[in-house]
Amino acid sequence: MRTFSSLLLAVVLATLPPAHALWPQPRNLRTGSDKLKLSDDFKIHLEAHVPQDMLDAISRTEDFLKKDHLQRLIVGRGSSDTNALTNAKSLSELDLYLESGADANSITTEAQKPIESRDEAYTLNVPNDGSPANITASSTLGLLRGLTTFTQLWYEVDGTIYAADVPIYTHDSPAYPYRGFMLDTARNFFPVSDIKRTLDAMSLVKMNQFHWHVVDSQSFPLQIPEFMDLSIKGAYSSSSVYTPDDVKDIVAYAGARGIDVLVEIDTPGHTSVISKAYPGHIACPEATPWDIFANEPPAGQLRLASNETTNFAANLLAAVARMFPSTIFSTGGDELNANCYDQDPDTQKSLNETGRTLEQALDVFIKTTHKAIEDLGKTPVVWEEMVLKHNVTLNPNTTVLVWEKSENAKTVAQKGYKLIHAASDFFYLDCGAGSWLGASPDSPNWCDPFKTWQHSYTFNPTANLTDDEAKLVLGGQHLLWTEQSGPSNLDSIVWPRAASSAELFWSGPGGNVSHALERLHDLSFRLQQRGVKSIPLQPLWCALRPGVCDAVPHTS
Amino acid sequence: MRTFSSLLLAVVLATLPPAHALWPQPRNLRTGSDKLKLSDDFKIHLEAHVPQDMLDAISRTEDFLKKDHLQRLIVGRGSSDTNALTNAKSLSELDLYLESGADANSITTEAQKPIESRDEAYTLNVPNDGSPANITASSTLGLLRGLTTFTQLWYEVDGTIYAADVPIYTHDSPAYPYRGFMLDTARNFFPVSDIKRTLDAMSLVKMNQFHWHVVDSQSFPLQIPEFMDLSIKGAYSSSSVYTPDDVKDIVAYAGARGIDVLVEIDTPGHTSVISKAYPGHIACPEATPWDIFANEPPAGQLRLASNETTNFAANLLAAVARMFPSTIFSTGGDELNANCYDQDPDTQKSLNETGRTLEQALDVFIKTTHKAIEDLGKTPVVWEEMVLKHNVTLNPNTTVLVWEKSENAKTVAQKGYKLIHAASDFFYLDCGAGSWLGASPDSPNWCDPFKTWQHSYTFNPTANLTDDEAKLVLGGQHLLWTEQSGPSNLDSIVWPRAASSAELFWSGPGGNVSHALERLHDLSFRLQQRGVKSIPLQPLWCALRPGVCDAVPHTS
């Protein structure tokens, strides 16, 4: 029988403080165990010609260092560091270097490059002797990533700001070029301030893609100058809209934080709300019983067999694409419902007149709408059905969002498409709260249970893929569909859970959840200090004692 | 085959606006369909000698009416009401009447009476002709409940505040005298402001009991003047404490809102943190592996076989009981771990010296600690194990919290104890987010899945009980254990879900979830208007169209 005393050593070992609490974990990292104070006159220097958003990032970084006020997550909250701090050196300077020959583009310009040409690598070196720290990169985007890592080094005790584990050296770069978060602003509306706060949080974990599912069947909050009636008649209210200025603001805010904005206008399904402004373009608008005509209420789909509707859709997509500088644009393509078209006399007439099947008409629709995007120099992104359920002609560069189940990645890759992991069984943040449909006393939601951070974190992005197929994986993202979410629970349902995919796709798979937990606690508290309502993963008692609240393995 | 047109009528009927949106549903209610404006010079009058907290409630009510700014949840958000409003009468006066012979006690005094002597009944009458509305009750607490109902009648469109369904008459009173909410402030700490906001929300749904699980094994935030070391050494930080003034503040805030505070000092288990200040009183403090010694980390229990510890516990409970005016006090009693005592030499020595078994020692401990409470005129409340798993002597008035599973209510009632429904399978708000233990990549929590509002709402409080046993049911409550919660998600994890039990135990069981959903949407939005981050239950599109997003029943 085990007794208390024989277990003391194990407890002591388990409660040693973590060496560092960076998130995502850098891919190469050497840390020491010295303390280093941040000097009151600490400054960040960058000699090169400096774009404005880089200057802003520097000033933001200096601000975070002063205002994070984060205490270490160890018993005593850092009071045990005070002795070591009396003799610790002070850091007065961080120097940023853009490698010779590198373009001094803005962070925004670098962040908005095609997915696979973004250069996010950086080298960070923090000596323990008080001599200047430095970050070197071959792009301003890389410098930003280095600054982000740098801000995660610092804690505060009794008014002293200090790093706990210098010297630090890392040469770091992401395992996957696409690390995203999707927000649905159509089921329920989110003010611009919520989106900006989300972008702040994304940037802290080095996510680089905000996938904005901006409109859907329920509401059309996006103001498009050429199509004003869509939002006038389709937004939840005249104030629940994103104006073109809001879009510019969000895109600029994201860009300055190293994040590109992938906007989605989901077509031809998920378009019921367009019927408010353009009834002629929508089949089965709000038809009942809704479940015959759509996966969720209200039903309504673009009349894809109609030339007029196809041209309308192409013009609409192009108008929206022109509002966003990204090189990618999502045309959606999920959950197309055939019954809706079967029972739509207008669609049947179009099909009869052209002699096309519905699938042939869909092919024309996709070719036309995608050409409108491609003519603007953009690559289409689609949900998986476009390659798994339909036989449409797609540009081979088209990028596919795998969503229904993660194992579908295999088939998408076999067909040769680049893919983004966005599967409901790993990355859907809305699952686990039961059905949101009315008149349904006690039924689960289709994607229950809740996807824990541990579950997402242990996802294998290349499971069952050959080496060649694995090269098609661009990365992945967490997603928030907002049937049961709004501004009230945006932060709490997303953070820190979504950080698990941010690390998975930056640091690469295979991370250990026990080690990750310590750092994820730290991240969650740092997010809170920055105004993001990230939630606790454990009692604070456990957060202060790494490993002590682990589940105990027992052999039977 | 169904077609669109044949289903139109059903849609039209389903989208008729709700007649009213009161929560909880009054037990007797007659409503009309006229509109009534609130006059700019609207005033609430109460002629009797008026206690200060009644005056405050009146002033708060006038404030809510002006500041709720709640739009109706119908398509157009009330714009279709504007025509009817031009000819609508205006209400200038609400008169409150305390029935003759009734005591003009403060609301607080009435709210803090023994559970079954609280008088919450009221009659509300709102004529449609602009003549004064009135609320009659035989206690100020009843008047408060009437005022609360009154504030839920009002909406705003284009700056006009109006009721949509007058005349209104209700004579209302609760089906069950105990309607509570439990908050654990020990796993993670919540500032006083969070508790007050929670009390505001509770009062809006006429909950009358705040069950404050204030301390537990992880932290001891309660400052007790006679036992200051407990919080000095056991709180998470010197600012994560509830001072005696905070307690007074919270108790007064609750009382003024018709809510009594049931404080709990869980004993003899769940007391690990006491070892920080009083190591001699705790067996197996932080012993590992924790799961041998406790249901969750850290282990540690009061040495119940020791006379000194028993007296310490009795003094501690009495000191806390003196801080709270309630006539009930929870001594806890859940999840006692026998291994902890079996392996504690001190406990074994005490048992040997007295010749008692552990159960006999527990009986002495419970008798002694409960006597300390009863000597102060208070009735003990205990978790179910005290009557289901242990053979201890309890005052027959002891009230039992049924928690592990709801069906245990039967056995508790068979033993003749009054009971409160607080079962994990219906009312635990923390379930459904997966395990919070570390090193546990993908394991469920013991009480998964998530308890939806529909699930709680359809609970039957007297299932399997005889009529006599049913009389022992005092009511019930939702509970938030905070291993995975903190200020970041307090509102969003609790509201509006907890309102489902508030209505269940006020209006009585048997409510229809479809009808409830319309009103619960309304409540959730009203809570948001009052600063409580209650979450959406559906897309706003559905909230505006009652029934249209219902699950569709299909016969196979």
In chain B, what residues touch A236 (CB-CB under 8 Å)? 540-541
Would you list the DSSP string of B327-383? SEEEEE-----HHHHHT-HHHHHHHHHHT--HHHHHHHHHHHHHHHHHTTT-EEEEE
Residue A505: name the closest of A174, A260, A183 by CA. Answer: A174
Q: Are B537 and B509 in contact (CB under 8 A)?
A: no
Q: Is residue A219 part of a domain?
A: no
Residues A136 and A194 grouped into a single domain: no
The reply to whether A113 falls in a domain is: yes
Chain B residues near residue A435 by CB distance under 8 angstroms: 452, 551
- CB-hemisphere CA count at 13 Å for B197? 19
pLDDT in tens, B153-198: 999 999 999 999 999 999 999 999 999 999 999 999 999 999 999 9
Final residue of a structural domain among A473, A491, A511: A511
B367 touches chain A (CB under 8 A): no
Return the amino acid letter for A305. A
A277 burial (CB, 10 Å; 0-12 / 13-18 / 19+) is: middle
Q: Are residues A126 and A274 in the same domain?
A: no
The answer to whether A315 faces chain B, any CB pair under 8 Å, is no
Distance from CA of B291 to the nearest CA of A (A): 7
Cβ–Cβ contacts within 10 Å for residue B468, how many?
Answer: 10
Q: Which residue out of A197, A273, A288 would a mutagenesis test of the B interface target, given it has the greatest number of B Cβ atoms within 10 Å?
A: A288
Report chain B's C-alpha Rg in angstroms.
25
Q: What is the pLDDT of residue B1?
A: 36
The overall average pLDDT reported for chain B is 95
Q: Is A437 on the interface with B (CB under 8 A)?
A: yes
Indicate which CATH number applies to the domain containing A94: 3.30.379.10
What are A212's strand-pairing partners? A183, A263
What gap in Å lies between CA A471 and CA B496, rounded to an integer? Answer: 46
pLDDT of res. B554: 67
User: Does B337 reach chain A within 8 Å, measured CB to CB?
Assistant: no
Interface check for A167 against chain B (CB to CB < 8 A): the answer is: no
| Tokens standing for residue A4 | 């208390």
B513 touches chain A (CB under 8 A): yes
Q: What pLDDT digit, counting tens, does each position of B389-433 carry?
A: 998 999 999 999 999 999 999 999 999 999 999 999 999 999 999
Residue type, B48: A
The pLDDT value recorded for residue A102 is 87
**Given an 8 Å threshold on Cβ–Cβ distance, is A297 in contact with B489?**
no
Q: In the numeric block, which tokens belong to residue B96? A: 């409150």
Check whether residue A141 and residue A284 sit in a common domain.
no
Residue showing tokens 């771990």: B337
Measured between CB atoms, which of B287, B541, B550 is closest to A438?
B550
Query: What is the pLDDT at residue B5?
Result: 41
Per the CB < 8 Å rule, is A444 touching B442? no
B351-400: pLDDT as tens digits: 999 999 999 999 999 999 999 999 999 999 999 999 999 989 999 999 99
Residue B343 lies in a domain: no
Does B236 contact A540 at a Cβ distance shorter than 8 Å? yes
Query: Do both A230 and A132 map to the same domain?
Result: no
Q: Which residues does A503 contact at the CB level (< 8 Å), separation at least 6?
A: A23, A24, A25, A205, A457, A511, A516
* Listed residue (B240, B328, B239, B220) closest to B281, CA to CA: B220
**How close is the nearest chain A Cα to the Cα of B151, in Å?**
23
Q: What's the distance, Cα to Cα, between the start and end of chain A in Å?
A: 14
Using CB atoms, pick whichever of A448, A485, A539 lies closest to residue B218: A539
The catalytically annotated residue of B335, B384, B404, B503 is B335
Q: Does A13 touch chain B (CB under 8 A)?
A: no
Residue B291 with chain A: CB contacts under 8 Å: 551-552, 554
Question: Looking at residue A555, what is its pLDDT?
Answer: 58
Give dist(CA B17, CA A521) in Å, integer.
46
Provide the ipTM.
0.95
Contact B289 A7 (CB under 8 A): yes
Write out residues 254-293 of A within 8 Å (CB-CB) of B. 284, 286-292
* B536: chain A residues, CB-CB within 8 Å: 188, 482-486, 488
Percent of chain B with pLDDT over 70: 96
Q: Are residues A166 and A285 in the same domain?
A: no
Query: Is residue B328 domain-resident?
Result: no
* pLDDT in the model for residue A445: 85
Q: Average of pLDDT values for B2-26? A: 56
| A95 and A191 within one domain | no
User: A87 and A201, same structural domain?
Assistant: no
Checking if the pLDDT of B19 tops 90, the result is no
How many domains are there within chain A? 2
Q: What is the CATH number of the domain that holds A446?
A: 3.20.20.80
Chain B nearest-CA distance from A439, in A, is 5
Task: Write out the catalytic residue numbers of A.
Answer: 335
Contacts of A454 in chain B (CB under 8 A): 434, 440-442
Question: Which structural domain range is residue B147 located in?
Answer: 19-172
In sequence order, what are the beta bridge partners of B379? B328
Q: Decide if A491 and B486 are in contact by the 8 Å CB cutoff.
A: no
Q: What would the 3-class secondary structure string for A397-418 be?
A: CCEEEECCCCCHHHHHHHCCCE
Q: Please name the residue that has the structure tokens 């067909």.
A: A415
Residue B475 falls within a domain, yes or no? no
The answer as to whether A543 is a domain residue is no
Q: Is B29 domain-assigned?
A: yes
Is residue B404 domain-resident?
no
A434 touches B at CB < 8 Å: yes
Q: Which of A375-379, B101-105, B238-242 has the lowest mean pLDDT?
A: B101-105
Binding-face residues of B in 173-212 toward A, CB within 8 A? 186-189
Catalytic site includes residue B335: yes
pLDDT in tens, chain A (556 residues): 334 343 433 443 344 444 579 999 999 999 999 999 999 999 999 987 889 999 999 999 999 999 999 999 999 999 999 999 999 999 999 999 999 888 889 999 999 999 999 999 999 999 999 999 999 999 999 999 999 999 999 999 999 999 999 999 999 999 999 999 999 999 999 999 999 999 999 999 999 999 999 999 999 999 999 999 999 999 999 999 999 999 999 999 999 999 999 999 999 999 999 999 999 999 999 999 999 999 999 999 999 999 999 999 999 999 999 999 999 999 999 999 999 999 999 999 999 999 999 999 999 999 999 999 999 999 999 999 999 999 899 999 999 999 999 999 999 999 999 999 999 999 999 999 999 999 877 778 899 999 999 999 999 999 999 999 999 999 999 999 999 999 999 999 999 999 999 999 999 999 999 999 999 999 999 999 999 999 999 999 999 999 999 998 865 4
Are residues A552 and B286, on separate chains, in Cβ contact within 8 Å? no
